[in-house]
């Protein structure tokens, strides 16, 4: 799942929507293989792309390191364009710096960080929208953390925590790699009494 989110940084809006929905559908149906009949997955209306573009780039700078008001519209426009045309975060950062003609003092590193964060957010918004269309089989989502040397303590603590399906998330930090895994209803809740629930496949952060 985290790999899917990272790959979306070089995708168009349509590709982001498709990848996000595929990720949610695959993760959800994998949890229901023990049922005699798999429930139907409701496909996401691709017109949601407009909402995804609108949701991304709302907050393009950290509260602790705000950007001048004159830069915000320029950066927002470049971020939107980058998401739509499938530019990589590095390409978008270069366009931002060129457009601002050196006025942006954050440098390429900060510009790329902002671009990557917003493009990953587009994936999360698309995934959230896909899961909203499938409340009939989903009861929520689980915070899933990438485990490696770069993982921060905050993300480790949140790994495995559950949230309602309507709640957006994960609200990760800049350059965050956490993602959401859909959590399906039980067999009984889906109308299949007597089916034995399989054990969770989500790794324990304490292991």
Neighbours of 65 (CB within 10 A): 9
Q: Which residues contact 129 (CB under 8 A, 6 or more apart)?
A: 17, 20, 44, 48, 51, 52
Q: At which residue do the structure tokens 């691709």 appear? A: 46
- Collapsing DSSP to helix, strand or coil, 162 comes out as strand
List the chain residues with pLDDT less than 70.
1-14, 46-67, 83-86, 101-108, 111, 174-175, 203-207
pLDDT in tens, 146-176: 888 888 888 888 898 999 999 988 887 766 7
Give the pLDDT confidence score for residue 122 in this predicted structure: 73
Inter-CA distances, 60 with 51, 64, 104, 109, 172, Å: 17, 12, 13, 14, 13
Structure confidence at residue 136 (pLDDT): 93
pLDDT in the model for residue 183: 94
What pLDDT score was predicted for residue 205?
55
What is the pTM assigned to this prediction?
Answer: 0.68
pLDDT number for residue 189: 93
Residue with tokens 């960080």: 113
The per-residue pLDDT for 3 is 44
pLDDT score at 55: 60
């Amino acid at each position: 799942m985290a790999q899917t989110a990272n790959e979306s940084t070089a995708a168009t809006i349509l590709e982001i929507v498709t990848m996000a929905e595929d990720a949610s559908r695959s993760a959800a149906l994998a949890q229901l293989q023990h049922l005699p009949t798999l429930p139907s997955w409701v496909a996401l209306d691709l017109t949601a792309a407009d909402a995804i573009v609108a949701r991304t780039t709302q907050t393009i700078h950290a509260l602790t390191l705000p950007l001048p008001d004159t830069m915000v519209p320029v950066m927002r426009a470049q971020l939107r364009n980058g998401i739509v045309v499938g530019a990589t975060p590095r390409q978008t950062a270069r366009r931002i710096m060129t457009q601002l003609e050196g006025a942006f003092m954050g440098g390429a590193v900060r510009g790329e960080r902002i671009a990557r964060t917003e493009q990953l957010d587009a994936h999360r918004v698309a995934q959230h929208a896909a899961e909203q269309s499938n409340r009939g089989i989903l009861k929520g989502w689980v915070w899933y953390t990438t485990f490696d040397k770069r993982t921060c303590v905050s993300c480790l603590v949140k790994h495995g925590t559950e949230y309602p399906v309507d709640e957006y998330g994960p609200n990760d930090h800049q350059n965050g790699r956490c993602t959401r895994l859909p959590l399906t209803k039980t067999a009984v809740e889906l109308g299949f009494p007597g089916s034995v629930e399989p054990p969770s496949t989500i790794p324990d952060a304490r292991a």
